[in-house]
Amino acid sequence: MLNQQIVLAARPHGMVKSGDMALHSAQVPNLQVGQLLVKNQFLSVDPAIRYWLNAGTTYIRGVEFDEPVRCFAAGEVVASRNDEYSVGQWVTGLLGAQEYAISDGVGLARCDPTDGPLSQHLGVLGMPGMTAYFGLLDKGQPQAGEVIFVSGAAGVVGTTVGQIAKIKGCRVIGSAGSDEKCRYLVEAGFDAAFNYKTEDTDAALKRLAPGGVHIYFDNVGGDTLDAALLNLARGARVVICGALSQYNESAYAGPKNYMKILTARGILTGLIVFDYAAQWPAAVRELAGWLREGKVSTREVIEPGLSSFPDALVKLYQGGTFGKLLVSV
């Protein structure tokens, strides 16, 4: 049986290009004992993919040439020689940009179809939702009445952070890169949103949060992080989740206003979502409940066909899309 794959063709430098990836066909090998075969239905197009395409990183190895591009995917088990998985089950995991993936089950998550459609298990019910949930609730420790600022807010993580913060009684401000995204955030329940491309972030925060920001949830780093540091309320928590503005840069810009952490009597911290793996099932259940009640919502953009994956990844960094970006296989 033939397996279509999107593989790494050239090591990207700076901004990733679609030509760094190529479509490739390979034979699906026979299953060994302990393995299962997943037919991928959705590929998740996430910021971290660019990071994994580097030659080597601190906590995960880089993707090799002619290897499928590493990404999360959701699919159905179509064959199994692993006692813990049976045909017909829904699973998600780092299954790669390909039609079929062989797995030994390690790192795979089983999805409960009653929680929501398969695609949502890659978004609000998957890693992005978990990142929002534990990043905000465990690292941010939101208290009712506090002000939360979320950058990159139109992504699944950002929108979900804002919506959970609303459930906890906070005032929520988001920033995004277009007026359309800002309108979407207000519809999604944010108290305010501003377009960082047309309004200076420091000025916007002074306008929208004159008493300062109690939690800054940082998806972007760079100038936005520096502006947020100028606007911390006393006791603020800065939760570093990502640095979308920096992933395509060879060296990160450090937050030059980091001494504001002291004057605010604050802390800067961050999260590695995999540390919470044992608590994921309970968090998925709570998020599924909020989805059903309409307190949390999600926006999906689905690009059709495996071959659309390289362009979708480029589009992600260009900021032209928002919500959860998926490729249907």
Minimal distance, residue 26 CB to its own copies, in Å: 33
Find the shortest distance in angstroms from Cβ 61 to its own copies: 15
The whole-angstrom separation of Cα 6 and Cα 14 is: 20
> Could you give the CA distance from residue 166 to residue 177 in angstroms, rounded to a whole number?
22
Question: Which contiguous run of DSSP H or E holds residue 228?
Answer: helix 222-229
The whole-angstrom separation of Cα 244 and Cα 257 is 19
List 251, 293, 304, 318, residue binding its own copies (CB under 8 A): 251
Q: What is the secondary structure of 183-208 as a DSSP string?
A: HHHHHTT-SEEEETTTS-HHHHHHHH
Amino acid identity for residue 158 in this structure:
G
Instruction: Report if residue 25 touches its own copies, rule: CB under 8 A.
Output: no
Which residue from 268, 306, 316, 329 is in contact with its own copies, where contact means CB under 8 A?
268
Q: Which of 143, 198, 269, 279 binds its own copies (CB under 8 A)?
A: 269
Stretch that binds its own copies, among 117-125, 191-199, 250-258, 277-285 (CB under 8 A): 250-258
Closer of 73 and 150 to its own copies (Cβ): 150
Segment contacting its own copies by CB under 8 A, of 86-94, 124-132, 197-205, 255-263: 255-263
Sign for the pseudo-dihedral over CA of 105, 107, 111, 117: negative
Q: Tokens 């601190």 sit at which residue? A: 58
Interface segment toward its own copies; rule CB under 8 A; list 19-27, 188-196, 246-254, 286-294: 246-254
Among 275, 285, 292, 320, binds its own copies (CB under 8 A): 275
Token duo for residue 195: 């377009």
Choice between 113 and 270, CB closer to its own copies: 270
Positive or negative torsion for Cα 189, 195, 200, 203: negative
Compare residues 127 and 182 and give the one whose CB is closer to its own copies: 127
Please work out the total of residues on this chain that contact its own copies, with binding judged by CB under 8 A: 27
| Residue 168: CB minimum distance to its own copies, A | 21
Contact predicate 152/178, CB 8 Å: no
The secondary structure element, H or E, covering residue 317 is helix 309-318
Q: Euclidean distance between the first and final Cα of the chain, in Å?
A: 16
Site for its own copies in 140-159 (CB under 8 A): none
In the structure encoding, which two tokens stand for residue 40, read together?
Answer: 């991928």
Shortest Cβ distance from residue 197 to its own copies (Å)?
22
**Is residue 126 within 8 Å of 92, Cβ to Cβ?**
yes
Within 10 A of 207 (CB to CB), how many other CB atoms are there? 13
Q: Residue 277, interface with its own copies (CB under 8 A)?
A: no
Type of residue numbered 262: L
Q: Which is nearer to its own copies, 8 or 271 (CB)?
A: 271
Strand (E) or helix (H) holding 171: strand 171-176
Query: Degrees (nearest 5) of the Cα angle 52, 53, 54?
Result: 90
Pick the binder of its own copies from 13, 197, 265, 292 (CB under 8 A): 265
- Complex with its own copies: residue 73 or 220, whichever CB lies closer: 220
Smallest gap, in angstroms, from Cβ of residue 256 to its own copies?
A: 4
148 versus 264: smaller Cβ distance to its own copies: 264
Scan residues 40-79 and list those touching its own copies (CB under 8 A).
58-59
Binding residues for its own copies (CB under 8 A)? 58-59, 221, 226, 240, 243, 251-259, 261-263, 265-272, 275
